[in-house]
């Protein structure tokens, strides 16, 4: 993994200070958020030509900023106005885009490629100090999941050094006793199994798809480890993946909600199924299609993130196309929680209805039928505007009529929504490749119009 100038000791010290915030009162958190938001807006208006233009020069002296009065920032706008948004004149889109390895830029900043749930490429810049805070936030998260400094932990991230997870896992591991194996999701499975059998980790952090594949290896007897914690993020954690992890190690997987633009948004805690929003590091608005706040328990249309840590590339009310549902946190706790996340990485497809209209089909509805087919090891569904095609990886000994039964189940699920099902083909394949780009994620539901 790439080396880091951020020492493990300094990151652990920052993590300790972040953990102290877990005991804040709601009033203390609110005061912190107001102070950080005011400072961020003043900095952006003073140092960013883009924000100076959209906020006005008076914002450089603002106090008591109201978040809802600020403009939103779609990813397309971020990339179109990259040079005007960043606050360090030494960082330019050309130099950032020309550095695919994710090495430090002039001024000591790091650059990462991101695609997120939109599939549109982006470039995100972090100073070393900002990156250290976010790395420390991951140590804080793992501690909340039950991981101690004495545990043998391993991270299995993206293969590209240009991906944030690759560098963050390296920095988080700095200073730990016992060198963990250098693995990525692109490591051949036999090699990964051998390395993990040798290392015998107590905690694993990786993508859900990789955790599920490792669970398969454990159930088959080739992998012989006993992790106490399995933490997953960045992809959809399906019910089938969760079941396999539970069967393999008799534990419930922890889940993290993160993005390249906000490396930790929410995560589960020991003994709780919902996900704590880390609102001392960012402001999270769950909104409808018109950017209006939605009530607790109501799924939002998108998420607006205001990153309270990053100042080199200010992200104020930045749009993420994820559909989440929030609720108040437990009594006395300052942080809200997310009860569900939908749309992570997968596409929403639109189908015609029998009445001549159209209906949007959430990814969860297309994933649901596969939960009833234990013989399907992996799947991917693609819609090209005319036909729905599915690729499935079958377990050894699966009934030969499995593709036909999957097609029937998908057709039945679509009809329940009122949609007119398009022609559906299901094809068994030996494997399903990961997506291109530095993240190398799996995408289960793809909308690829011709």
Query: CATH code at 429?
Result: 3.30.300.30
**215 and 233 part of one domain:** yes
Q: Could you give phi then psi for residue 405, rounded to 5 degrees?
A: -70, -35
Residue 2 within a domain:
no
Residue 241 within a domain:
yes
Residue 65 within a domain:
yes
Bridge partners of 283? 306
Asked if residue 338 lies in contact with residue 279, where contact means CB atoms within 8 angstroms, the answer is no
Boundary residue ending a domain (323, 344, 365)? 344
pLDDT of residue 372: 75
Residue 410 within a domain:
yes
Q: Where are the alpha helices (DSSP H) in 250-361?
A: none
**In sequence order, what E strands does 158-316 have?**
183-184, 203-206, 229-233, 254-259, 262-268, 275-277, 282-287, 302-307
**304 and 365 part of one domain:** no
pLDDT of residue 409: 92
pLDDT of residue 4: 41
Asked if residue 128 lies in contact with residue 14, where contact means CB atoms within 8 angstroms, the answer is no
Helix (H, G, I), strand (E, B) or coil at 381: strand
**354 and 340 part of one domain:** no
Q: What is the CATH number of the domain that holds 334?
A: 3.40.50.12780
Other CB atoms within 10 Å distance of the CB of residue 252: 15
Per DSSP, the chain holds a count of helices (H) and strands (E) of 13, 20
pLDDT of residue 177: 57
Q: Which two tokens stand for residue 111?
A: 């650059």
Residue 439 within a domain:
yes
Exposed / middle / buried, residue 3 (Cβ in 10 Å: 0-12, 13-18, 19+): exposed
**395 and 417 part of one domain:** yes
**264 and 138 part of one domain:** yes
**288 and 432 part of one domain:** no
Boundary residue ending a domain (344, 359, 393)? 344
User: Which domain covers residue 120, as residue numbers?
Assistant: 8-344
Residue 75 within a domain:
yes
Alpha carbon 411 to chain centroid distance?
30
- Which residues lie below 8 Å from residue 433, measured CB to CB, with a gap of 6+? none
User: In 3D, which of 311, 308, 319 has the Cα closest to residue 286?
Assistant: 319
Rg from Cα positions in the chain: 22
Boundary residue ending a domain (289, 318, 344)? 344
**184 and 69 part of one domain:** yes
User: In 3D, which of 228, 289, 281, 221 has the Cα closest to residue 257?
Assistant: 281
**320 and 246 part of one domain:** yes
**232 and 358 part of one domain:** no
pLDDT of residue 436: 58
Q: Which two tokens stand for residue 210?
A: 């990789």
Residue 47 within a domain:
yes
Segment-wise mean pLDDT, segments of 10 residues, the chain, 450 residues = 49 94 96 97 95 87 89 91 92 60 62 57 84 94 93 85 72 69 85 96 91 93 98 84 95 93 94 94 96 95 96 96 90 90 70 85 74 82 93 91 95 88 96 65 74
**56 and 160 part of one domain:** yes
pLDDT of residue 98: 43
Total domain count, the chain: 2
* CA distances, 12 to each of 172, 174, 255, 320 (Å): 8, 9, 22, 29
Question: pTM for the full model?
Answer: 0.78
**204 and 69 part of one domain:** yes
Residue 1 within a domain:
no
pLDDT of residue 3: 37
- Which residues lie below 8 Å from residue 317, measured CB to CB, with a gap of 6+? 67, 70, 71, 72, 73, 285, 304, 305, 306
**328 and 404 part of one domain:** no
């Amino acid at each position: 993994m790439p080396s880091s100038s951020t020492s493990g000791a300094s990151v652990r010290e920052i993590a300790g200070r972040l953990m102290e915030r877990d005991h804040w009162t709601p009033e203390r958190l609110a005061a912190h958020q107001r102070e950080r938001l005011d400072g961020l807006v003043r900095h952006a208006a003073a140092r960013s030509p883009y924000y100076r233009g959209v906020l006005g020069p008076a914002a450089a002296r603002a106090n008591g900023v109201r978040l809802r009065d600020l403009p939103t920032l779609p990813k397309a706008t971020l990339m179109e106005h990259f040079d005007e948004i960043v606050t360090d004149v030494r960082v330019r889109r050309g130099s950032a885009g020309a550095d695919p390895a994710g090495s430090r830029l002039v001024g000591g900043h790091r650059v990462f490629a991101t695609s997120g749930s939109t599939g549109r490429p982006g470039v995100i810049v972090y100073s070393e100090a900002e990156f250290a805070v976010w790395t420390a936030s991951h140590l804080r998260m793992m501690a909340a999941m039950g991981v101690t400094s004495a545990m043998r932990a391993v991270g299995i991230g993206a293969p590209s050094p240009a991906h944030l997870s690759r560098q963050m896992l390296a920095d988080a591991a700095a200073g730990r006793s016992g060198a963990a194996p250098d693995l990525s999701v692109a490591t051949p499975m036999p090699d990964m199994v051998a390395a993990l059998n040798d290392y015998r980790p107590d905690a694993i952090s990786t993508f859900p798809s990789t955790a599920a594949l490792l669970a398969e290896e454990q159930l088959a007897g080739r992998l012989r480890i006993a992790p106490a914690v399995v933490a997953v993020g960045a992809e959809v954690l399906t019910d089938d993946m969760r079941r396999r992890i539970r069967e393999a190690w008799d534990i419930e997987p922890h889940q993290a909600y993160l993005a390249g633009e906000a490396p930790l948004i929410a995560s589960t805690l020991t003994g709780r199924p919902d996900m704590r929003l880390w609102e001392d590091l960012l402001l999270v608005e769950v909104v409808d299609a018109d950017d209006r706040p939605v009530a607790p328990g109501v799924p939002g249309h998108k998420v607006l993130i205001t990153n309270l840590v990053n100042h080199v590339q200010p992200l104020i009310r930045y749009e993420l196309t994820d559909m989440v549902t929030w609720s108040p946190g437990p009594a006395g706790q300052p942080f809200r929680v997310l009860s569900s996340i939908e749309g992570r990485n997968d596409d929403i497809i639109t189908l015609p209805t029998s009445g001549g209209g159209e209906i949007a089909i959430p990814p969860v509805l297309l994933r649901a039928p596969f939960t009833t087919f234990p013989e399907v090891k992996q799947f991917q569904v693609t819609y090209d505007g005319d036909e729905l095609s599915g690729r499935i990886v079958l377990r050894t000994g699966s009934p030969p009529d499995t593709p036909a039964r999957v097609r029937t189940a998908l057709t039945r699920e679509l009809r329940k929504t009122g949609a007119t099902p398009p022609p559906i083909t299901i094809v068994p394949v030996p494997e399903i490749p990961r997506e291109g780009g530095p993240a190398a994620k799996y995408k289960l539901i793809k909308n690829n119009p011709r």
